[in-house]
Chains A and B, each alone.
Chain A
Amino acid sequence: MNGQRTMDTTLWRRSLLVLSWLILAGIAVETSVGLRLSAFGVEPNFLLGLVYYFARYEGAVPGAILGFLVGLLEDLSVPQDLGLHALAKCLIGFFTGKLWAGQRLFKDTLRAQAVTLFVAGVLHDIIVLFVTADGHPMRFFTLFLRIGLPTALYTGALCPLLVVAWSWLREIGPEIHARFFRTR
Chain B
Amino acid sequence: MERGADIRSRGSFLSRRGELAVLLSLTGLALVLMLLTNSTQAAIARHLEDFILAPFRTVDHSLRQVRVVLTSNRTLEAELTAARLGLARAEEMRLENERLRAMLGFEGREGFSLIGCEVMAEGAGRLGGAVVLLNRGYNQNIREGMALIGREGLVGKVVEVRPNNSHALLLTHPDCAVAARIERSRVAGIVEWQPGSFTSLKLRNISYLADVRMGDRVISSGLGGVFPEGIPVGTVSGIDKDVAGLVLDITLKPATNFRALEEIFALKSDKAGGVEGAASFGAPFSPQPTGSLQDGLSGQALKDKSRSEIPASRPAPPVERSAAHPPETPPTSPPPPAGESGGIVPPDARHTPPSEPPGPEPQERDTSAVRPTWNEADRSSEHDTIWAEPDSVSPRQPDTPSTP
Contact = CB atoms under 8 A, between A and B. Distances in A.
A87 B34 CA distance: 9
B4 A83 contact: no
Given A82-B41, A101-B7, A102-B8, A60 B19 contact: yes
Interface string B13-56: 01000110011001101111110101001101110110011000
Given A61-B11, A82-B33, A87-B31, A102 B5 contact: yes
B10 interface: yes
The majority secondary structure among interface residues of chain A is: helix
Contact of A72 (B7, B10, B23, B48): B48
A87 B27 contact: yes
The majority secondary structure among interface residues of chain B is: helix
A30 interface: no
A90 B28 CA distance: 11
A102 B10 CA distance: 12
Interface in A66-97: 68, 71-73, 75-76, 79-84, 86-87, 90-91, 94
A65 interface: yes
Nearest to B38: A80
A59 interface: yes
Quick one: which of B23, B26, B32, B34 has the most chain A CB within 10 A? Answer: B26
A103 interface: yes
B285 to A, nearest CB: 67
A131 B34 CA distance: 10
B45 to A, nearest CB: 4
B243 interface: no
A68 B7 contact: no
A59 B29 CA distance: 21
B209 interface: no
Contacts of A64: 22-23, 26
A98 B19 CA distance: 10
B103 interface: no
A76 B49 contact: yes
Quick one: which of B3, B30, B42, B45 has the most chain A CB within 10 A? Answer: B30
B44 A59 contact: no
A76 B7 contact: no
A164 to B, nearest CB: 19
A80 B39 CA distance: 8
Contacts of A71: 30
B1 interface: yes
A79 B46 contact: yes
A71 B48 CA distance: 13
A60 B22 CA distance: 10
B389 to A, nearest CB: 81
Contacts of B11: 59-61
Contact of A86 (B3, B10, B30): B30
Contact of B31 (A80, A81, A83, A94): A83
Quick one: which of B19, B23, B29, B41 has the most chain A CB within 10 A? Answer: B23
Nearest to A72: B48
Contacts of B30: 68, 71, 83-84, 86-87, 90
24 contacts: A57-B3, A58-B7, A59-B10, A60-B19, A61-B19, A61-B23, A64-B23, A65-B22, A76-B48, A76-B53, A79-B45, A80-B38, A82-B33, A82-B41, A83-B31, A83-B34, A86-B30, A87-B31, A90-B23, A90-B30, A98-B19, A101-B4, A101-B7, A103-B1
Interface of B: 1, 3-5, 7-8, 10-11, 14, 18-19, 22-23, 26-27, 29-34, 36, 38, 41-42, 44-46, 48-49, 52-53
Given A59-B10, A60-B19, A81-B34, 17 more contacts: A61-B11, A64-B22, A64-B26, A76-B48, A76-B49, A76-B52, A79-B38, A80-B38, A80-B42, A82-B33, A82-B45, A83-B29, A87-B30, A98-B19, A101-B7, A103-B4, A104-B4
